[in-house]
Amino acid sequence: MDQATDAPLKKTPLNARHRALGARMVPFGGWDMPVEYSGITAEHLAVRERAGLFDVSHMGQIEIAGSNALDAVQRISCNDASKLQIGQAQYSGLLTPAGTFVDDLLVYRLGPQHFMLVVNASHIEKDFAVISEGITPAGDAVAVNVSARYALIAVQGPKALEIVQPLTGIDLASMKYYWFAHGEIAHVRGTVSRTGYTGEDGFEIFVPPQQADAVWLALMASGEQFGMIPCGLGARDTLRLEAAMSLHGNDIDDTRTPVEAGLDWIVGWKKDSFVGSDVLKQQKADGTAQKLIGFEMIDRGIGRQGYTIYSGEEAVGVVTSGTQTPYLKKAIGLGYVSAALAVPGTEIDIDIRGRRLKAKVVPTPFYKRTK
Amino acid sequence: MAYPAGFKYTKDHEWIELSGDEGKVGITDFAQAQLGDVVYLELPEVGTVLKAGQTFGNIESVKAVSELYAPVSGEVVEVNAALKEKPEAVNSDPHASWMVVIKLSDLSETGTLLDVTQYSDLVK
Cβ burial of B45 (10 Å; 0-12, 13-18, 19+) is exposed
- Give domain status of residue B32, yes or no: yes
Q: Please check whether the two domains, A15-56+150-242 and A289-362, share a CATH topology.
A: no
* Per-residue model confidence as pLDDT tens for chain B (124 residues): 789 999 999 999 999 999 999 999 999 999 999 999 999 999 999 999 999 999 999 999 988 889 999 999 999 999 999 999 999 999 999 999 999 999 999 999 999 999 999 999 999 8
- C-alpha A331 chain-centroid distance: 21
Class level of CATH domain A15-56+150-242: alpha beta
B21: closest CA of chain A, how far (Å)? 31
Nearest to B27 by CA among B84, B69, B73: B69
Q: Strands of A151-156's sheet, edge to edge?
A: A180-185, A188-193, A202-207, A151-156, A52-55, A229-230
Containing structural domain, residue B12: 8-122
Domain count, chain B: 1
Q: Are A24 and A34 in contact (CB under 8 A)?
A: yes
- What tens digit of pLDDT does each residue of B104-117 get? 999 999 999 999 99
Contact (CB<8Å) A36/B36 = yes
What radius of gyration do chain B's Cα atoms show?
13
Domain boundaries, given as residue ranges, for chain A: 15-56+150-242, 60-148, 289-362
B34: closest CA of chain A, how far (Å)? 9
Q: What is the pTM of this model?
A: 0.91
CATH code at A289-362: 2.40.30.110
Burial A224-240 (b: 16+ CB within 10 A, else e): eeeebbbbbbbbbbbbb
CATH topology of domain A60-148: Alpha-Beta Plaits (3.30.70)
Q: Are A43 and A52 in contact (CB under 8 A)?
A: yes
> Do the bridges between strand B8-9 and strand A355-362 make them parallel or antiparallel, or are there none, so unpaired?
unpaired
- Give domain status of residue B3, yes or no: no
Q: Which residue of B has its CA nearest to A300?
A: B40
**Mutation site for B-interface testing, chosen from A38, A302, A351 by largest number of B Cβ within 10 Å:** A302
- Give domain status of residue B2, yes or no: no
A23: closest CA of chain B, how far (Å)? 12
- Give domain status of residue B17, yes or no: yes
A303: closest CA of chain B, how far (Å)? 10
Q: Are A36 and A22 in contact (CB under 8 A)?
A: no
Which helix (H) or strand (E) covers residue A90, if one does?
strand A89-95
Q: Other C-beta atoms within 10 Å of A72: how many?
A: 26
- A353: chain B residues, CB-CB within 8 Å: 42, 58, 65
Where do runs of H (alpha helix) occur along A67-211? 69-76, 124-134, 160-164
- Give domain status of residue B36, yes or no: yes
- Give domain status of residue B94, yes or no: yes
Chain B residues with a Cβ under 8 Å from any Cβ in chain A: 36-37, 39-40, 42, 58, 60-65, 91
Q: Which residue of B has its CA nearest to A301?
A: B40
Rounded mean pLDDT for each run of 10 residues along chain A, 371 residues in total: 66 98 93 95 97 98 98 98 98 98 98 98 97 97 98 98 98 98 98 98 98 98 98 97 97 98 97 96 97 96 96 97 93 97 98 94 95 66
- Give domain status of residue B114, yes or no: yes
CATH number of the domain encompassing residue B85: 2.40.50.100
Burial B113-122 (b: 16+ CB within 10 A, else e): bbebeebbee
Alpha-carbon gap, residue A91 to A169, rounded angstroms? 26
Alpha-carbon gap, residue A367 to A108, rounded angstroms? 26
Phi, then psi, of A123 in degrees rounded to 5? -115, 10
